[in-house]
Structure 1
Amino acid sequence: MAKKATTVKTATGKKLQVVNPNAAGIDIAASEMQVCVPDDRDSDCNRCFGCFTQDLKSIVQWLKKCRIETVAMESTGIYWLPLYFILEENGFDVILVNARDVKNLSGRKTDEADAEWLMLLHSYGLLKCSFQPENEARAIRNLNRHRSNLLQSSSREALHMQKAMEQMNLKLGNVISDLLGKSGMAIIEAIINGNHNPTELAMLAEENCKATKEIIAQSLEGTWAEDQLFELKQAYDLYRFIQGQIRQCDRQIEMHLTRYRVYLESSSDVGFTRCKKRIGKKNAPDFDVERYAFDIWKVNIMVIPGMSAISLKRNKTTLGYYFRRIQSSHSCHSA
């Protein structure tokens, strides 16, 4: 485990002590990795490697040959991930640091200088390690981010549907509260299937709609342009497809949550009280996020005002197990 900075008293005053003598620094880029080790370990102590898997294995072999135990690297984009994992698998203590925290080296910037600067700072214990979750928590976080991207894509297709209808002067969005609700989707599907009779389309609306059938029928008197109908169908099909992808993503997230709960040996009804607040259904995952969160943290943070199923899932995938330092929902609320 890498050590933090310490000072020693000398005749001339306090002096930083080398606490990680077996440290290396790696400057990460898209196509190459610059690796620096202490100059007493190899005659060529600052080497450039490629980015292919074989190159990453060569880095591991060279670091082992140089008796390196801990490595510091910058979190550059996503390029650090493969090397980070392969170093961890081979027993190295890897310190991932934010690039902006170490870019204080004056003069001409080079990859060699950056790698040496990282190695030097790490040898003195001056680097702050970025948080890295366990493998299951990382998988959940990656899938949650993927789900967010799918939701954005779904929203774009919903806007495309609305645009196509507006261009045909179909004002359905003005008379029903949610174009993507049961009534709106039933009417859109009927339009795509060739039914352009406003009265018949209005009858597909749910009884709980505030607008009357007559008003809904009036909003559905349009031009029925062939090109706009084609755009509406394509946007509708894409929206349905992406919604299916989101459901598949939810199943995958739930599978990893189950594994994570088993990994933590944390599944019990003791102390669990379901929050009585109304939880919105729109875009929410279709599994019991509240219960999984309680099993991981042993506290139901759904009681926090403003906490939703989506924000709860986001916190869970970002923080993982480490949120359990909060002891109770009361301390969550007061914080």
Structure 2
Amino acid sequence: MTEPVNVIYTSCAGLDVHQATVVACLLHGKLTSTRPKKELKTFETTQKGLSQLAEWLTGFDCQVVAMESIGGYWQPIWHVLEDRFPLILANPQRIKGIAGHKTDKVNARWIAGLLRVDLIPAGFIPSESIRELRDLTRTRKYLVADRNCKKNWVQKILQTAGIKLTTYIADIFGKSGRALLDMLVNGEVLTPATVEKVVFTSLKRKVPLIVEALNGFFNEHHRFMLDQQLKLIDVDEDTIAQYERRIDTYLEMYTAEVELLRSFPGIQKNATAIVLAEVGPDVVTFKDASHLFVDLKFSYKTLRGALRFSS
């Protein structure tokens, strides 16, 4: 026997969010009503359109609004509505598991119906500062990955030109390696004497081997390709450094949380920023570990991938 469903809102709205428009469905009626009145309207996602949405919801004494966390489309809507209505950000994974879920504009009606009977668990919504930190750490992740792709391309250029520098230098983008790459780009004469001037520490003992490794068939085409990739890497390095300085200003807002995270073995500064951005400063927000994983299902891949590029 099916248990009765309790209606908890006399007026609530579900939003189906798109890039250019948002479809709003508002259900209103007595708590005892099984067939509430339905109001359906589409608004543009411009500031003017979202202000009209807020006024429209206010006109029906809307008690709560729910929407799905689709891409970043929900964020401007959240920004406009959060000071005027209680908001619920629904995890799409949880909603689509309920029979009857649609993916077209009828979705707004479906969300509103679920909300009216309290069947949409609220997702994790971090504070504005944490959302901004998350933007920074995720962008940094992609910048680091892009820079690493360019470094791999440099190694391919060297191998194509018969330059075996990686055989003797573990990091060809370190101080010594980069100096040698610049010599190749500048067309300098590579002799034991000139090479010894730009390498450091134990590499000085490998100078004869390094000179031999640089003796390939590096031509003008390879020189152009290498030069362009190194310039792009330099741009990436500068951009990453700017992002990291910006991230540091946000970490200063959460000194205690940062110190706690840094106390765990293997968690360095960049990883600390990633964990804080993805989970927030207080895990009490989540009922238990399983709820944390479900609510962060989409950012879990980001977290796992970002930790790979945290150094």
Q: TM-score range by the shorter chain?
A: 0.7 to 0.9
| Inter-partner Cα distance in structure 2 for 1:51 and 1:246 | 32
Q: Structure 1 residue 325: deviation in Å?
A: 8.5
Question: Equivalents in 1 of 2:221, 2:118: separation in Å?
Answer: 65
| 5+ residue gaps, structure 1 | 1-11, 262-291, 327-335
Aligned positions of 1:50-199 closer than 5 A? 50-89=44-83, 91-103=84-96, 104-106=98-100, 110-111=104-105, 113-199=106-192
1:1-335 to 2 correspondence within 5 Å?
15-40=4-29, 45-89=39-83, 91-103=84-96, 104-106=98-100, 110-111=104-105, 113-199=106-192, 200-209=194-203, 212-258=206-252, 260-261=253-254, 292=255, 295-296=256-257, 300-323=260-283
The TM-score normalised by the length of structure 1 is: 0.76
Structure 1 pair 58–231 and aligned structure 2 pair: CA distance change class (3 A): same
Compared CA separation, residues 301 and 210, structure 1 to 2 (3 A): farther
Cα distance, 1:324–1:37 mapped onto 2, change above 3 Å: closer
Answer whether contact 1:176 1:210 (CA < 8 A) is retained: no
Matched residues, percent identical?
24
Between the aligned partners of 1:60 and 1:250, the Cα distance in structure 2 is 37
Gaps of 5+ in 2: 31-35, 287-311
Q: How many residues align?
A: 279
CA contact (8 A) 1:164 1:231 kept: yes
Cα deviation 1:253-308 (Å, max 9, x = unaligned)? 112223x34xxxxxxxxxxxxxxxxxxxxxxxxxxxxxx4xx236x6333434434
Q: Shift of residue 218 of structure 1?
A: 0.6
1:219 Cα deviation from its structure 2 partner: 0.4
SS at match of 1:311: helix
Assess, with a 3 A threshold, how the Cα gap between structure 1 residues 121 and 108 changes in structure 2: closer, same or farther.
Answer: closer
Paired letter, 2:257: I
> Does the Cα contact within 8 Å between 1:25 and 1:115 map onto a contact in 2?
yes
CA 108–255 in structure 1, closer or farther in 2 if over 3 Å, else same: closer
Distance verdict in 2 for CA 1:98–1:107, change over 3 Å: closer
Counterpart contact for 1:24–1:38, Cα < 8 Å: yes
**2 CA distance for matches of 1:180 and 1:121?**
55
CA RMSD of aligned residues (A): 2.6
Deviations along 1:303-323, one digit per CA (max 9) or x if unpaired, are 434434332221111122214
SS of corresponding position for 1:68: coil
Deviation at 1:146, TM superposition (A): 1.0
Q: CA deviation at 1:105?
A: 4.3
CA drift at 1:94: 1.0
- How far 1:175 moved relative to its partner? 0.7
- Report the structure, 1 or 2, having the larger helix content: 2
Distance 2:285 2:123 in 1: 18
Q: CA deviation at 1:247?
A: 0.9
In 2, Cα distance between equivalents of 1:118 and 1:132: 18
Q: Secondary structure at the match of 1:304?
A: coil
SS of 1:128 mapped into structure 2: coil
TM-score norm. by structure 2 comes to: 0.81
Question: Partners of 1:123 and 1:44 in 2: how far apart?
Answer: 12
Classify the secondary structure of the residue corresponding to 2:201: coil
Is the contact between residue 71 and residue 93 of structure 1 (CA under 8 Å) also seen in structure 2?
yes
Q: In 1, distance between residues paired with 2:76 and 2:182? A: 45
CA 1:59–1:129: 2 relative to 1, 3 Å: same
Q: 1:151 to 1:227 in 2, by over 3 A?
A: same
Cα pair 1:24 1:72 within 8 Å, conserved: yes
Q: Is the 8 A contact 2:12 2:28 kept in 1?
A: no
1:227-259 CA-to-partner distances (Å, cap 9, x unmatched) read 11001011101111110111111111112223x
